[in-house]
Amino acid sequence: MKKLLCVIGQLGEGGSEKQLHLFLKHLDRSEYDPSVVVASGRIIDKWRDAFGELNVPLDSLSGPPPVKALRFKSKLRNSKPDIIFSWSFYTNVLKLVSGKIPFIGSLRGGLGEEKLGMPKWLLSKALSPAPMVVNSLGLERELLDDGVPKDNIVVIPNIFERRFKEANTAEIKSEARARLLERLGIPQDAIIISGGGRLSPSKDFPFWLASFRELAKIAPTVHGVLFGYGPQVLADELEGAPLGEKVHLIGRLPDVSDILLASDVFFLSSIHEGLPNILLEAIDAGCAIVTTEVNGAEEILGDDEQLLSLSLLKERSPAKAAKMLKNLSTDDTAKSTASTLAQRRLEIFSPEKIAPIYAELLTQSLR
């Protein structure tokens, strides 16, 4: 059995953490004995419990970067892993102290955002692992543009486990909608547009709000529901404003499925993404989606011209976003078509499709 050491920056609320958990959940444990090192030391209780259920031990590093590197090197001497899988871009630099142990790197978010605040010499080290896993063709193009050889890059889309495929989604959606309307005091005839995410300029919630403002002019019954820490940047602008009665900021939730199930349309306003897990969750919950042209959109939407015309916003124009949102939220045929076509795409992200790709990567890296 091979010892696999995974290293990640933190175990917080991000999508990368969820992907690491799914990777380990579907890893062949007869072949690999995994463990996880968290470079920042931040581990929220949810992940302590989840990795504990998988019987995957967690460890953490502390101190300034040079101290972390020394502690990581010491851990390698003690645990003697057969292979290292860096799950975060900035932990790729630990390849420097990993000697001859096979090392897989990762990039799971926009390269421009990852570069912020990183010295050039350190950036070159973060870009050095081969192979380097990315979760979208867009990220592959970003690495190629930055001079990373194509042979060094492996594209592996996100793993996604469906929650509502076998359930009576129509009934579940109706119940979730009733709960949300009651909780927020939203009228029964309201159109619900949702959005959300972490606090990051890349999520561009001001663009989400500008588009919603245009939508409210042409669809008077619309209400917006935004979850997560990110949308809180809009609180001051909404306070006391007429639009504030239509946009509901509900903060971070441990599970956003009820919001997605209750929504007519989910709107992703991001500037940069790796592959947005939240779009997969929204599609699974029966939402129609509108998304900006970010990394991962092409994998999720595919090349179906009808779906692209309904769901892909090619220009960052609030007026055009509002037009697409109105079309999907008020035309039942368009909404049903967009939802059905998008749900057919979820199969390519299933564990049955993605786990064997990871298995082959590990096998090749150990040769």
In the predicted structure, residue 240 carries a pLDDT above the cut 90: no
Q: How far is CA 44 from CA 41, 50, 72, 187, 190, in A?
A: 10, 10, 21, 36, 36
Is the distance from CB of 176 to CB of 258 less than 8 angstroms? yes
- Where is average pLDDT lowest: 36-45, 302-311, 324-333? 36-45
Do residues 271 and 133 both lie within one domain? no
Is the Cα dihedral 243, 333, 337, 307 positive or negative?
negative
In the predicted structure, residue 116 carries a pLDDT above the cut 90: no
Cα–Cα dist 129/37, whole Å = 18
In the predicted structure, residue 232 carries a pLDDT above the cut 90: no
Do residues 321 and 174 both lie within one domain? yes
Predicted confidence at residue 3, as pLDDT, reads 98
Tens digits of per-residue pLDDT, 134-157? 999 999 999 999 999 999 999 999
Residue 101 lies in a domain: yes
Non-local (6+) Cβ contacts of 202 within 8 A are 109, 110, 113, 270, 271, 272, 273
Do residues 91 and 206 both lie within one domain? no
Do residues 217 and 139 both lie within one domain? no
3-state secondary structure 110-151: CHHHHHCCCCHHHHHHHCCCCCEEECCHHHHHHHHHCCCCHH
- From the CA atom positions of the chain, what is the Rg in Å? 21
Query: Dihedral, CA atoms, 85, 132, 114, 277, nearest 10 degrees?
Result: -80
Residue 164 lies in a domain: no
Domain CATH for 96: 3.40.50.2000
131 preceded by cis ω (within 30°)? yes
Helix (H, G, I), strand (E, B) or coil at 291: strand
Do residues 235 and 356 both lie within one domain? no
Residue 331 lies in a domain: yes
Residue 166 — very low, low, confident or very high, per pLDDT cuts 50/70/90? low
Is the distance from CB of 87 to CB of 16 less than 8 angstroms? yes
Written as six digits, the tokens of 203 are: 């999520």
Do residues 231 and 107 both lie within one domain? no
| Residue position matching structure tokens 């007869």 | 30
Cα–Cα dist 60/39, whole Å = 6
Non-local (6+) Cβ contacts of 314 within 8 A are 293
Do residues 244 and 137 both lie within one domain? no
Do residues 72 and 210 both lie within one domain? no
Cα–Cα dist 277/13, whole Å = 12
Predicted confidence at residue 237, as pLDDT, reads 85
Structural domain span for residue 86: 2-159+350-366
Do residues 96 and 207 both lie within one domain? no
Closest CA to 283 of 164, 197, 180: 164
Torsion region of 240: left, alpha or beta (phi above 0 gives left; psi -120 to 50 gives alpha):
left
Do residues 123 and 186 both lie within one domain? no
In the predicted structure, residue 167 carries a pLDDT above the cut 80: no
What average pLDDT score do residues 101-129 get?
Answer: 92
Report the domain count for the chain.
2
In the predicted structure, residue 192 carries a pLDDT above the cut 90: yes
Indicate the residue type of 136: S
In the predicted structure, residue 165 carries a pLDDT above the cut 80: no
Tens digits of per-residue pLDDT, 330-362? 999 999 999 999 999 999 999 999 999 999 999
Written as six digits, the tokens of 153 are: 């890059």
Tens digits of per-residue pLDDT, 34-75? 999 999 888 999 999 999 999 999 999 988 888 999 999 999
Residue 280 lies in a domain: yes
Do residues 138 and 234 both lie within one domain? no
Task: Count CA within 13 A, CB hemisphere, residue 71.
Answer: 16
Average of per-residue pLDDT values in the chain = 94
Do residues 231 and 122 both lie within one domain? no
Q: Determine whether 182 is exposed, middle or buried from the number of CB atoms within 10 Å of its CB (0-12, 13-18, 19+).
A: exposed
